[in-house]
Structure 1
Amino acid sequence: MSEAQGSGLNIAHAAPVQASRSRRWVIVASLFLFMVINFADKAVVGLVAVPLMHDMQLTHAQFGLVGSAFFLLFSLSGVGLGLFVDRVDVKWLLAGLALTWAVAQLPLAWPVSFAVLLACRVLLGAGEGPAAAFALHVAYTWFDDRERNLPTTFIQLGATSGVIIAGPLLTWVTGRWDWHAAFLALGVVGVLWTLLWLCVGKTGNAGRGTAGDSASAMPHHHVPAPRVAVDPRTRVSYRRLLADRTVIGVLLQCFVGYAVIAIGLTWVPAYFRVGLGFDATQAGNLFGLQVATQIPVGIALAVFSHRLLKRGVTTRRARGTLISVACVVSGIAYCMLYSGASPLAKVGLLSVAFALASQVFTFGPLLIAEIAPTAQRGALLAITNSIVTTAGLIGPVSMGKLLGVAGDHVGYETGFAIAGALLILTGIAGFALLDPQRSRQNLQTAA
């Protein structure tokens, strides 16, 4: 073959590779928007809590039930659809989920009964149950294991951005019209994203032939431990997967983390108004600012972890230890709300605590995807996500009951302190349990 012919073949080969690299970031950007809508949908009830409770004459306990109703079918739909995600085209599953969100929001654009409000939140929860896991699963079909930190963080920051955008924007919409208009806006946005995804959505085929999907992601000298080649069709019983030490550690941290997220989305805006004395506009802006803290924190931890991996640090240290430290620090910050700090200082403590606790949803899926057999990765991501999100049933309604006893700032801060203590405990447990290298060896033996 002549040099010219060889050069022509190299150029022809480089073109589709470059196109594939560009396409995968288009997918990530679309999934980022998917998560923006996902969390705006979650946050809207908390943002309109005061006028909604006033208009519908709801008690704290009833509003806590509204927050928890969202999670009634959340976990069940995650498990049910998760068992099929590796067997069907996820493009159509994501489109169906987004359309379900829109259908659940639109009835609330008009006056409704308490029963209809509950039903719409239950339907929304059923549609959002597997959403985060499926979005990450699609991204992981485009990136090998050691390339996943940044796309995972970017997609998860869509959740952060959804709350940031929802805070001031939906507060403005509610003030300009009423709280029903906020639900109408979210329903329309859900339909628009569905149309976008049908145009650009697609799965990739990265990492089909190695355990952990990472053997080809980096030069050999950067890989701290040898990885055993495995048939991508290899399967391990789900009982064995769920009993693995790393999976248990992720479940513990993410369960408590999700309780914190659910409480935050449902009750923090009300805490800013009732507990700390801010007006509606200030509360909406501060809530968005608090959630925005996740962006620099999430990016910093993802970049730091990625650099550790490039230096040859094991994923046990670069991911497991790092997220466990974050849980402990977050828990301490929540407990410090009991101090006699000023309202703005308490907003700062909440921002740090919330940002660090939220990182379990970046590092948890990374650890799960690292050890899961390729053929079961999507299902295991969905199943573990469904298990931990049952915390959403417990968190908001528990806080509502607590506030029924002590409705001022003391009640709120007691609930946050309890969550903080649990974060500290799960962080300590993570130091011992999160060991993906050992888990991968054990699961390979079982396979």
Structure 2
Amino acid sequence: MTPMIETESPTLTATAPAAAHSRASGRRWAVVAALFLFMAINFADKAVLGLVAVPVMHDMQLTPAQFGLVGSAFFLLFSVSGIATGLVADRCNPKWLLAGLALVWAVAQLPLGWPTTFAVLLFCRILLGAGEGPASPLALHVVYTWFDDRERNLPTTIVQQGAMGGVIVSGPLLTFLAERWNWHAPFVLLGFASLAWLVLWLCVGGSGRRHARFGERGAQAAVAAPAGRPVRFRECFADRTIIGVMLQCFVGYAVISIGFTWTPAYLRLVLGFPATQAGWLFALQVAAQIPIGLALAVLSHRLLARGVRSRFARGATISATCVVSGLAYCLLHLGVPPLAKVALMALASSLAIQTFSFGPMLVAEVAPAERRGALLAITNSIVTLAGLLGPFAMGKLISSKYGVGGYELGFAVTGTLLLAAGLAGFVLLDPQRSARHLGRAAA
């Protein structure tokens, strides 16, 4: 019997770590899949108001300015809750933070399943915004606890594409529900979807071993040397790369918030498409973001694998993307056919939203590990203040002397801002330099 024991023991010893590694690898991709669904619900929640804009305004007798106020109200506590959550993200278990957010979403959506007042509609959108403010940075923070810097392009893109998947499905589906029954039905569906995700997350959710409290120093170890003091927040926010990321993401989020609030109405009231076609066209516009996002992620990953500096592989890539997006929005003023305008909007929005894939990766690349969760949440909260301004400003333009021309004027303004942010990014985004700078600050 002894020889058998001696020959089997090394096998057991060798296979045990491999089995553990396989389980950990499977677990982290299960977490990525769950967070994909999380972001899908998150962005379906954002899109629903725009998809039912026309019946809501008609049923509740709202002016464009009032409806724009409802759209902007979503962002009233969006940034505040994001900052508050960011300050505790590195000290609390993110599993329970994400679970709490999903519960808030359900509570905010379900009351709109029945006839309501303007005040209740406004309150529910404010509450929903408070629950969704920390969602994206917290989801990415969890992803980054499972993957190191060189592995993050693909999982980051997958989680961010969940947002696109949510809008693609919700566009035709929620429009159908509103047409089949009434505009309240989509809110009921989304409320129960949040509850279903909550149950799923409690079963599979969790953070990985690359969390700061387990001693991870991050991809840029020099940023927080063991013997140095912690890097102060003001030093991080004075860094050129973080400034560049925030500038691009601020304009990118203006595009997102305006698009979700006003694009379906633009397709119907300006371009003349019926409700069902407008829902599908909106979904197709968003669908274009998936291949574009994946292509840019693969391009950046391959450049990094070939030894290209992140300043070019990530910084220059997203800056060029902003420039092209801005040009496409400005071209909407040309007298082109409606379908050409739909294509230009699809290209512009698909490129602009990539700021929220590349931006967090650049922040995570330069951030000290012990500050990463907070920086991701706080920078996201600051840039999403654009959502508080964008929909309301567009509503004021539409209500003004410009009338329906206010739609394209608003798009042209955001296009000009995207051009400026893209050009600035070529100068500001330099993560290697930022890592050295913050490393000296910690010394």
Which TM-score applies when normalising by structure 1? 0.95
Contact kept? 1:250, 1:434, Cα under 8 Å:
yes
Alignment of 1:26-425 (within 5 A): 26-206=30-210, 211-213=217-219, 230-231=225-226, 235-406=230-401, 408-425=403-420
What one-letter code is carried by the residue in structure 2 that aligns with 1:308? L
Q: Is the 8 A contact 1:143 1:207 kept in 2?
A: no
- Partner-residue secondary structure (3-state), 2:88: coil
Q: Deviations over 1:101-160 (max 9, x none)?
A: 000001100111111110000000000000000000000000000100010000000111
Instruction: Call closer, same or farther: CA 1:214–1:7 in 2, change over 3 Å.
Output: farther
Q: Structure 1 pair 282/118, CA: closer, same or farther in 2 (3 Å)?
A: same
Q: What is the 5 A alignment of 1:430-445?
A: 430-445=425-440
8 Å contact kept, 1:140–1:148: yes
Separation in structure 2 between the aligned mates of residue 409 and residue 305 of structure 1, nearest angstrom: 39
* Rounded Cα–Cα distance in structure 2 between residues aligned with 1:411 and 1:228: 46
Judge conservation of contact 1:232–1:374 (CA < 8 Å) in 2: no
Deviation at 1:271, TM superposition (A): 0.3
Alignment partner, residue 16 of structure 1: 20
Cα distance in 2 for residues equivalent to 1:293 and 1:338: 22
The amino acid across from 2:200 in the alignment is: L
Give the structure 1 partner of residue 422 of structure 2: 427
Distance 2:216 2:370 in 1: 11
**Structure 1 residue 212, shift from structure 2 partner:** 3.6
3-state DSSP class of the match of 1:437? helix
- The amino acid of 1:138's aligned partner reads V
CA contact (8 A) 1:53 1:63 kept: yes
Indicate how the Cα distance of structure 1 residues 2 and 329 shifts in structure 2: closer, same or farther if over 3 A, else same.
farther
Query: 2:193 is paired with a residue of what secondary structure?
Result: helix
Q: Distance in 2 between matches of 1:4 and 1:62?
A: 74
Q: Mind listing any 5+ residue stretches in structure 1 that lack a counterpart? A: 216-226
**Residues of 2 paired with 1:8 and 1:184: CA distance?**
52
CA distance in 1, matches of 2:418, 2:351: 10
Cα displacement string for residues 412-446 of structure 1 (whole angstroms, at most 9, x for unaligned residues)? 11110000000000000000000000100010111
Q: Which residue of 2 aligns with 1:218?
A: none
Count of aligned residue pairs for this structure pair: 436
Structure 1, residues 287-344: CA drift from partner, whole Å, max 9, x if none? Answer: 0000111000000000010000100001111000000000000000000001111000
CA distance in structure 2 between the aligned counterparts of 1:229 and 1:86, rounded to whole angstroms = 15
Take 1:288 and 1:406, find their aligned partners in 2: how far apart are those partners? 31
Give the counterpart letter for 1:176 in structure 2.
R
Structure 2 letter corresponding to 1:399: M
Which aligned runs of 4 or more in structure 1 are off by greater than 6 angstroms?
none
Give the distance between the partners of 1:233 and 1:128, measured in 2 at CA: 35
What amino acid sits opposite 1:287 in the alignment?
A: F
Percent sequence identity over matched residues?
Answer: 64
Cα offset, 1:185, TM superposition:
0.6
Matched residue SS, 1:84: helix
Letter in 2 for 1:441: R
Q: Say if 2:223 and 2:438, in contact at 8 Å, map to a contact too.
A: no
**Preserved CA contact (<8 Å) 1:274 1:408:** no
Query: How far is 1:23 from its partner?
Result: 0.6
1:210–1:231: 8 Å Cα contact kept in structure 2?
no
TM-score (norm 2): 0.96
SS class of match (1:104): helix
Distance 1:316 1:79 in 2: 27
Aligned equivalents of 1:302 and 1:433: distance in 2?
A: 21
Counterpart contact for 1:144–1:207, Cα < 8 Å = no
CA distance in 2 between counterparts of 1:130 and 1:229 reads 25
